[in-house]
Chain A
Amino acid sequence: MTNALITANHGDETDAETAQRAIEEKTYGFRLCLISDAIIFALLFAIFIAMARDAADESTERTLSQLPRIVPETMLLLASSVTFGFASVATAARQRWRAIIWLGLTFMLGLGFVATEVSELYGMATADAGPWQSGFLSAFFTLIGTHGAHVSLGLVWIALMVGELAWRGPTLDHVHGFGSNRSKTMNVIDSNILERDAGGKPHHTFSHPAPGAVSRLHRLSLFWHFLVIVWISMFALVYLLGLL
């Protein structure tokens, strides 16, 4: 059963290998976090469906009537998934500023999504359809709200990543190797000088993001696409449930 499995040899690995392995471990761990998160969503879905079944008329009426607003909202999120894809492509091509622009676009689309969602929920709450009115509405608000909170967290994270890519910029870690004694500020100063020396354009070696930042961006993309998948399930199970 297990003879085919080869364990990692981290006996005498180089610093670069250590860094690479750390990135792989983080990605793996992050996927496990997403599994836990997916189970939370699955449970909220289960509760929602149970509540909707108990209040069949109400649920159909409430959710189907929102379709005109939900379709553009969904489009915003789907588009943000595409723009994030372009940001990943730009990162892979080591084009830092292009990645920042695509991330910015993703941020705007995501913000639009959250704003639509908040206005939808606020409208319901003030129009006598708040979460305290019925079990169905409690489940609806909690499910949508949990997703919205996740997207908002993703927005904060995108903003931080843009900040890292833009200001902290590339570090020299991947050139000097692991455990360089130079401080981070030193690295930034150095790279600024080098960039200036290269005629105002970013020096080739330093124009791409550091491996750590790339891996963070990768995990953020996992998170973002995960949220899009959850939203598509919501679109089907929450808003189209009345049609089924």
Chain B
Amino acid sequence: MRGSAVFAVGQVKDSGGLMAIHEFFQHHELPFVHAAAPSAISIDLATLPGTLARLAYAPSDLSPIALPPLPVRRPIDMLGKLTIDALPFYSGIAMAGALTVVCGGLGIAVLITWLGRWRYLWSEWLTSLDHKKIGIMYVILALIMLVRGVIDALMIRTQQAFGFEPHGYLPPDHFDQIFTSHATIMMFFVAMPFVLGLVSIIIPQQIGARQVAFPFMNAAGLWLTVSGAALVMISLVVGRFSAAYWTAYPPQSGIQLSPDVGVDYWIWAVLLSSIGTILAGISFLVTIVKRRAPGMQLMAMPLFTWTALCTSILIITAYPALIVAATLLGLDRHLGMQFFAGSNGVANYVSLFWIWGHPHVYILILPACGIYSEVVATFSGRRLFGYAALIYSMIAITALALVVWLHHFLTIGSAADVSAFFGRAAPLIAVPTIVTIVCWSLTIYRSKVRFSVPMLFTLGYIVTFLIGGITGFLFAVVPAGIHDTTFRVAHFHNLLIPGALFGYFAGYQYWFPKAFGFRLEEKWGRRAFWCWLVGFGLAFMPLYILGLMGMPQRLNRSVVAEWQPYLIAAQAGVLLIVCGVAFLAIQIAVSIRDRKALAASSNDPWNGRTLEWATASPPAAYNFAALPPVQGIDPWWTMKQAGTADHGPGRFHDIIMPGKSSAGIMLGATSFVFAFAMIWHIWWLAAIGGLGMFAAVLSQTFHDHAGQRLPASDVEAIESRRVISPALGRGAPT
């Protein structure tokens, strides 16, 4: 340690307090000097044991310098910074949240034990390398985290609607934690896993492949994301989550203003899920480029495959920026680095963050567009109008996202006017968006539309997204006045709820029978849809108005009485959305109960057009016994028209499939241990976790043929059990 004296930052209350500090310093063998200017030394006595993190020392002029936390000597140093204080005894609400997580986890464990399903779960799911099962687990993760995210939203709305002075039922710091976790969860642990899950289930089937190119990489992506989500959940129980909002801008996220572990939880959750997402993106890109069925050219790929391709490209280019931003933030916090401390520091962080952030919006929206395209074609019963135009629109959106990416890249080091650029760029995105909406409308026009739940979500999107697009335009042309108001919150949600989440719901309803062999029950699906649609409108339209009235975003209590009616309306909207979530849950329960009745139709319940409906529902592990030859778009429809759909392969071959591997889940578990230990500075545990991660990856590195051979006779036996419905839409109008 250098310098002559140690000072603390905070406030000294009285001489008794000063004595306490003196003893404290003596106890830790730190040099203590009574400074001439008492106001310069200060310490928050209430949090004395924890304040070492805030200690700063100055060689001469008492100006505090950020230091990495000093080691605190305690009887048990094995646990790093972790003490009993990390448990949430400070607030009843936090305690309730912690108990919910613990009881939920224990409840699931007890249930599985009671059912005796651990072995089944381990061998059929957790260690599976089957792309469909991995995708299903991704979607389950997304749905579980959606519940948490919606509960957070409900708490935020309640606070803003009813939290009068001094503060509502949530203290400001707790409110900010909930605010941060809501956005972090929705971005990284709902939207992203939902996309990756649907892509993982569907893409290989849609392109006529038996597996993704890198099954282990796919599993590693899943388990790293799960590990990140687990970190966010455990932060409810041990320690606390970040209160620096989901963008974690410095200096708010720096060590001085956020000395506790909250931001570290955010950093590690983001890092793990980012790495997982990049791995998944690479796996999907290679799969789409290299594994398409014979004859499937790029311009014969289904729209969802096209958007998955575009999204994978954006993931591979954009996500590294988030890794860099989060890592540099961590280095600033813990090694005392000065990346974001200088004059341009904050601007640099903002540039880095939005290099990822802006393309990320398209990463989430593009696959939803792909799903809408599939749904519109299927439920209108005709070929997509303007197939090529739609694809070029998707490519244009991707290109625009990359331009935005490059723009932010070049602004590092200068305080460029971000919003000025978006004033020009945002209207551009309207062109391809309008093209897609026109193409879908013309596909629907004068066709016999079946208004099933996926179609309802699609139509809901088209209507609400038009509003979102108009407000986006407003947002782009109106100067900064409304930029930091709830107008922005409303606009953002208007983009991402109909633009992304409705699409995932449509895909979830549309492909559920593909994954499980029975449809989801329609009635509860419709109820869920209406709750979501009306709830969305009720929750966010008032926020547009409040934004124009000048209500700032992220306000942690009610300030102006005139705003309250709108906030109560928004609160009602969120309650409707909660009902929507509940109805989705009921829908699953009812569908499982009535699965026999709902499975009555064929493998192809919607009379689909693309190749995923050519496989059994649920598909055999290998998807296709013989790879289907493809000519042009909608190959399954073509086969049905030609009457060749129910022709089995003439001859069966051995099929090589990847076996099982526990390395994926071990990687997830050890990365969780590693990150948790790094957050709490438990170095020995971090070493164990790091070695475990290395071992898990190493165990897969030298495998050349980690495959199982399925003999042709077995394939034939499986295929002969498969019932191909005779009424496969032959003669239906095109």
Seen from chain A, the residues whose Cβ lies within 8 Å of a Cβ on chain B are 1-3, 5, 7-12, 15, 18-19, 21, 24-26, 28-29, 32-33, 35-37, 39-40, 42-44, 46-47, 49-51, 53-54, 131-135, 137-139, 141-142, 160, 164, 168, 171, 173, 178-179, 210-212, 216
Contacts and interface: CB of A to CB of B under 8 A. Distances in A.
B441 interface: no
B328 A142 contact: yes
B295 A7 contact: yes
Interface string B169-182: 00000000000000
B705 interface: yes
Nearest to A128: B2
Given A19-B704, A36-B316, A54-B342, A11 B626 contact: yes
A222 to B, nearest CB: 14
B319 interface: yes
B442 to A, nearest CB: 23
B683 interface: no
Contacts of B702: 160, 164, 168, 212, 216
Given A29-B283, A47-B412, A178-B656, A11 B294 contact: yes
A3 B632 CA distance: 11
What are the nearest 10 A-B pairs in CB distance?
A50-B413, A212-B704, A132-B336, A138-B337, A2-B298, A39-B320, A135-B338, A46-B412, A11-B627, A9-B294
A186 B213 CA distance: 29
Interface string B135-169: 00000000000000000000000000000000000
Interface stretch (B14-22, B232-240, B285-293): B285-293
Interface in B242-283: 278, 282-283
A43 B351 CA distance: 10
B200 interface: no
Contacts of A2: 297-299
Contacts of B341: 135
B292 A7 contact: yes
B577 interface: no
Contacts, number: 152
A37 B282 CA distance: 12
Contacts of A35: 316-317
Contacts of B352: 43, 47
A185 B653 CA distance: 29
Contacts of A137: 338
B59 to A, nearest CB: 11
Contact of B339 (A12, A32, A135): A135
Which of B321, B323, B339, B704 has the most C-beta atoms of chain A within 10 angstroms of its own C-beta? Answer: B704
A216 B703 CA distance: 10
Interface string B335-347: 1111101111100
Contact of A179 (B321, B414, B709): B709
Nearest to B68: A132
B338 A28 contact: no
B286 A25 contact: yes
A152 to B, nearest CB: 13
A153 to B, nearest CB: 10
A40 B412 contact: no
A52 to B, nearest CB: 9
A32 B299 contact: no
B342 A25 contact: no
Nearest to A180: B705
A112 B709 CA distance: 46
B409 interface: yes
Nearest to B301: A2
B412 A173 contact: no
A44 B324 contact: yes
A21 B290 contact: yes
Given A54-B344, A131-B335, A28 B286 contact: yes
A142 B337 contact: yes
Contacts of B409: 42-43, 46
Contacts of A37: 320
B214 interface: yes
A3 B278 CA distance: 30
A6 to B, nearest CB: 8
Interface string B457-480: 000000000000000000000000
B116 to A, nearest CB: 33
B307 to A, nearest CB: 17
Nearest to B318: A39
A25 B290 contact: yes
A115 to B, nearest CB: 22
B134 to A, nearest CB: 17
B290 A138 contact: no
Nearest to A46: B412
